[in-house]
Amino acid sequence: MKVIKNKYVKYIIFTFSIVLFFSLILNYKDKYFSEEELIKEVYKNKDEDPKEINEQYTILLENLFDYRNKAILDKNEDILKKLYDTNIKFGLWAYEHEIKKMQYLENWSSKQGVNFNDIKTKVKIKKMREREENLYGIICDVSTEYKYSYENDRDKENMFRIGTYHYLHVKIKDNNYIITKEWYTDPFADSLNLENIKSEDIKNYIINHEEVHPTLTKEQEKAIAYAHKYCGAAADEEDGLMFNKKYKDFNGDGGDCANFASQIMYESGRFKKNALWNYEKGSATKAWVNAQGFKNYIINSGRGSYIAKGGYEEVYREAYNLKPGDFVGYEKKGRITHVSTVTGFDSKGYPLVTCHNTDRLLVPWDLGWSDKAIRFHLIRVNY
């Protein structure tokens, strides 16, 4: 074996080895589309508007996503597989991930007693470049609208919207897109490989509830309006409603959920900032921007109180005591890692939440959090 003597050559080889090592680690983790590991890659370019994006590419991409949505609705794995280049490992992993998502949505809808009627997607391309002939790297915001109805009340249709941020490679073949790689901030990531909660008692309890119409204070009304207006990629894109630009977006720094929950409370006009709970010129205190810190502050300050905490089967009945403006904390491994704000109810009075990271508008409060190891913290906010 030839000994390498040149120190610069050694340095180059060492550097390359380190880069390759971490690349392999990330590639392995990409298989599971970990939001924590991949979110910086997606978010760091999300505000770079392309100078010229042909409308044709946006239409092609929306058609691709809608075709995928239809395959998920129809539970058709064969159609879904045709959208991916499964001869490439990243294409295969992306396909396998969507299969798991399809199965999760089926399991959740069975637990809930609902049927999904439609899934539609809107795409906003933020950055696009041709990597090689007919192969494109694309960063885009995706707003997906889900419509569902309960099996014993099919005439009443409910809607929720989820906003996700994607980085994908697609190749154009016969004027269609085929996915060769896809990373995105998946709202169902905490449920895909886990036990499913199935119980006829749970389903019967949910489907036999009645619609609710709570009386709201002016502050609660302002809080809800603010949440719906600024819920990121899940907001109404036609009105240009995304993030409130007077606040920093902390997604690239680990997450924006507590920042948004704090904004909702503050912008309601009910709560004032103070030394512990504060945001000023891009800087925020832990109680404002950290999910665990936010929950602790709300409870310890007297601005909120517990309704219940525990696993889903322990708290799902208590969840019907949530009111608009209250929030749900999601605990993993002993710490609150996410918070969302209650902003409405569906046709059976099931609480719906709105949040950032990933962006949600009026989503059922437990959707995407079916891991039995996750504990829910249901918090009353004293409006």
| DSSP state string for 355-378 | ETTTEEEEEETTTT---TT-EEEE
| Residue 309: burial class (beta carbons within 10 Å; 0-12, 13-18, 19+) | middle
Q: What is the pLDDT of residue 168?
A: 94
Domains of the chain: 55-203 (3.10.450), 218-381 (3.90.1720)
* Closest C-alpha among 81, 90, 86, 98 to residue 28: 90
Amino acid at site 89: K
Q: What is the pLDDT of residue 5?
A: 45
CA distance linking residue 186 with residue 96, whole number of Å: 14
DSSP 46: T
CA distance linking residue 91 with residue 85, whole number of Å: 5
| 38 within 8 A of 25, measured Cβ to Cβ | no
Crossing angle of helices 89-112 and 200-207, rounded to 10°: 70
Long-range contacts of range 81-86, CB-CB < 8 Å, 24 or more positions apart?
83/177, 83/178, 83/179, 84/178, 84/179, 84/180, 85/171, 85/178, 85/179, 85/180
DSSP notation for 79-109: HHHTTB-TTSHHHHHHHHHHHHHHHHHHHHH
Q: Write the CA distances from 159 to 11, 162, 324, 349, integer angstroms.
A: 56, 10, 17, 13
Blockwise average pLDDT, block size 10, the chain, 383 residues: 43 39 37 43 48 73 93 94 94 94 92 96 90 92 96 97 94 86 87 69 96 96 96 78 89 92 98 98 96 98 98 96 98 96 98 95 94 92 97
Q: What is the pLDDT of residue 176?
A: 78
| 189 within 8 A of 35, measured Cβ to Cβ | yes
CA distance linking residue 60 with residue 72, whole number of Å: 18
Q: What is the pLDDT of residue 155?
A: 96
DSSP 211: P
| 348 within 8 A of 365, measured Cβ to Cβ | no
Three-state SS for 118? strand
DSSP 22: H
Q: What is the pLDDT of residue 241?
A: 62
Residue 125 bridge partners (DSSP): 140
CA atoms within 13 A on the CB side of 125: 21
